[in-house]
Homo-oligomer: A and B are copies of this chain.
Amino acid sequence: MNPIPDWLRNYRASWLAGDAVAGLIVTVMLIPQSLAYALLAGLPAEVGLYASLLPIVAYALLGSSMTLAVGPVAVASLMTASALQPLAAAGSVQYVQLAVLLSLLSGVMLLAFGLLRLGFLAHFLSHPVISGFITGSAVLIAVGQLKHLLGVQVQGENVFQTLSSLAHALPQTKPAVLALGGASVLFLWFARKYLAKLLVRTGLSAKAADMAAKLAPMLVVIVSTAVVSLWGLDRSHGVPVVGNVPQGLPALGLPAWDWGSVQALWLPALLISLVGFVESVSVAQSLALKRQQRIEPNRELLGLGAANLASAVSGGFPVTGGFARSVVNFAAGANTPLAGVISAALMALVVAFFTGWFHALPQAVLAATIIVAVTGLIDWGTLREAWHYDKADALSLIATALGVMALGVEAGILLGVALSLGTLVWRSSHPHMAVVGRVPGTEHFRNVDRHQVVTEPGLVAVRVDESLYFANASVLQDRIEALVHANPAARHVLLVCSAVNQIDTTALGVLGDLERSLRERGIRFLLAEVKGPVMDRLQDTDFGRRMQGQVFLSTHEAFADVAQRQQVG
């Protein structure tokens, strides 16, 4: 692999304008978001800023998407908080060290998965389960931020406890905090819903208006910081602010670690990696397709792994590809990851020289930007669609969402994975099977339940419409035994394998047992239409040797053989 990525080697001057504009706009979104998601993760503001520098550059070198915007995102920040809260006090030195270690572990896992080409791991999660997870996390995040809007302290291990604690704490609400936070939520919500339309009326193009509306959070940050700063609201009215953010670029180095922490963090790191990967790939994929570009899941693993390693060595926390910023990056005309590199350079300037400006930024305003951002993640559409189309999927979605709200993000996602796999095993363990007969006068054989076909007395002919493996082999055996049981005159059982692309060891064993047990009762077991590669492997097994003379090229030949034997008999 060439160390210089394709996009950089073949860079064209004409791409620069788009990359520069997109890089600038994404930076303006990224500043409030990186501060807000650090708050959400329970980390000091600078950790969010650090996570928005090197990771972008690392992804640009290894990732395959031209437009994915990597950095702190809401769900990964929530998962970080949930992983660290049992281990250390939020905001403490140890907490920050563990966050950095989490990023390191996540980076190592993603790189390892990428090198082992385990991109298929993303398929462990079905779309309804991901949707339920995101929706549940969004509710959990929004509810968790309400305390910052009111300026109160609350406790709670799940959504319901937090809400009840919040209800008790209502009388302690600080009016100045609520005024700032409430006004921010209203303005941001209005901006998301209507600002673009209003700006179009003033003569802006639809695209420019859309871009401008995305800058609303930055505007709220500037105005509220100015208000707090001018009137000294942090001192006079007890408005919690971001406070001192250390100025200067982060020192590079590996985080402190010990085996105990690694043991406590490997599972959260795995889940953050998996969820982040799935989300990033799906965003990157949908953007790439619009420009006929390609996303390579295994290269995404490498890109995201490198980004997390870069975050860890520069004092940041877990990062992944964000939905909102990626869409803006794309729409603003980013052509290559150079847009991200420009954005990282601008962020570096901010970190190096301007962190003092965030001192008076109220936490309530950051909470407002988080709340408005995550409510956009609540996904009723998928639930409605799944409910309409496939109740099992809808129930998985609801169970995962409720699981996240009631049990937390880790238990929720594990429940979701279990439900996904349970559904997969359940569906796989019910292969479609049909008893077939001859369409009169032809060499075609179809389902006896759906077509007028002729069967051969003494022959049970079954077509199975799936590969045979451990999850369905015994179901096939049961079905055939039931058919033989129901048809005491049967002397031949034919399995039509036209749809069988694979037979695993378990299924091979089941077929062997089936053949043996049928033979003991004087019934011949026949196969037809076995595909070439499947037959090649069978031939060299005990079962394959026993089946010599009982495997037919076509169903027609098998039927003819049975008919001939029955005439002779």
Question: Which of A's residues lie within 8 Å of B, judged by CB?
Answer: 120, 122-128, 285-286, 289-290, 292, 294, 382, 385-386, 388-390, 393-394, 420-421, 423-430, 432, 465-467, 469-472, 474-475, 477, 481-482, 484-485, 499, 501-502, 504-506, 508-510, 513, 517, 520-521, 537, 540-542
Contacts and interface: CB of A to CB of B under 8 A. Distances in A.
Contacts of A482: 294
A426 B471 CA distance: 13
A382 B513 CA distance: 13
Contacts of A510: 127
The complex is assembled from copies of this chain, and their number is 2
A472 B427 CA distance: 13
Given A385-B505, A385-B542, 8 more contacts: A122-B474, A123-B475, A290-B517, A292-B484, A385-B509, A389-B540, A424-B471, A499-B499
Given A467-B466, A504-B393, A537-B389, A123 B474 contact: yes
Nearest to A510: B127
A425 B467 contact: no
A72 to B, nearest CB: 26
A475 B426 CA distance: 21
Contacts of A432: 501
Contact of A427 (B485, B504, B517): B504
A472 B429 CA distance: 16
A481 B291 CA distance: 12
Contact of A506 (B127, B466, B541): B127
A162 to B, nearest CB: 24
Contacts of A428: 123, 424, 428
Given A385-B505, A425-B424, A126 B470 contact: yes
A415 to B, nearest CB: 15
Q: How would you classify the secondary structure of chain A's contact residues: helix, strand, loop or mixed? A: helix
19 contacts: A120-B426, A122-B474, A123-B428, A123-B429, A123-B470, A124-B471, A127-B509, A289-B517, A290-B520, A386-B505, A389-B508, A394-B505, A424-B425, A427-B467, A427-B502, A427-B504, A428-B428, A465-B501, A499-B499
Contacts of A122: 474
B505 A127 contact: yes
A285 B475 CA distance: 12
Contact of A128 (B394, B426, B505): B505
A499 B465 CA distance: 7
A427 B120 CA distance: 10
A517 to B, nearest CB: 4
B123 A541 contact: no
Contact of A420 (B423, B427, B470): B470
B513 A470 contact: no
A457 to B, nearest CB: 19
A231 to B, nearest CB: 50
Contacts of A506: 126-128, 393
A124 B422 CA distance: 9
A124 B389 contact: no
Contacts of A285: 474, 477
> Chain B CB within 10 Å — which of A120, A388, A501 has the most?
A120
A217 to B, nearest CB: 29
Contacts of A430: 120
B420 A421 contact: no
A126 B513 CA distance: 15
A537 to B, nearest CB: 6
A388 B509 contact: no
Given A126-B506, A385-B541, A481 B425 contact: no
Contact of A425 (B124, B127, B394): B124
Given A128-B505, A385-B505, A513 B286 contact: yes
Given A390-B505, A421-B421, A465-B499, A470 B429 contact: no
A123 B471 contact: yes
Contacts of A128: 505-506
Nearest to A122: B474
A400 to B, nearest CB: 13
A8 to B, nearest CB: 21
A126 B521 contact: no
A540 B390 CA distance: 12
A123 B499 CA distance: 21
Nearest to A295: B478
A542 B390 CA distance: 14
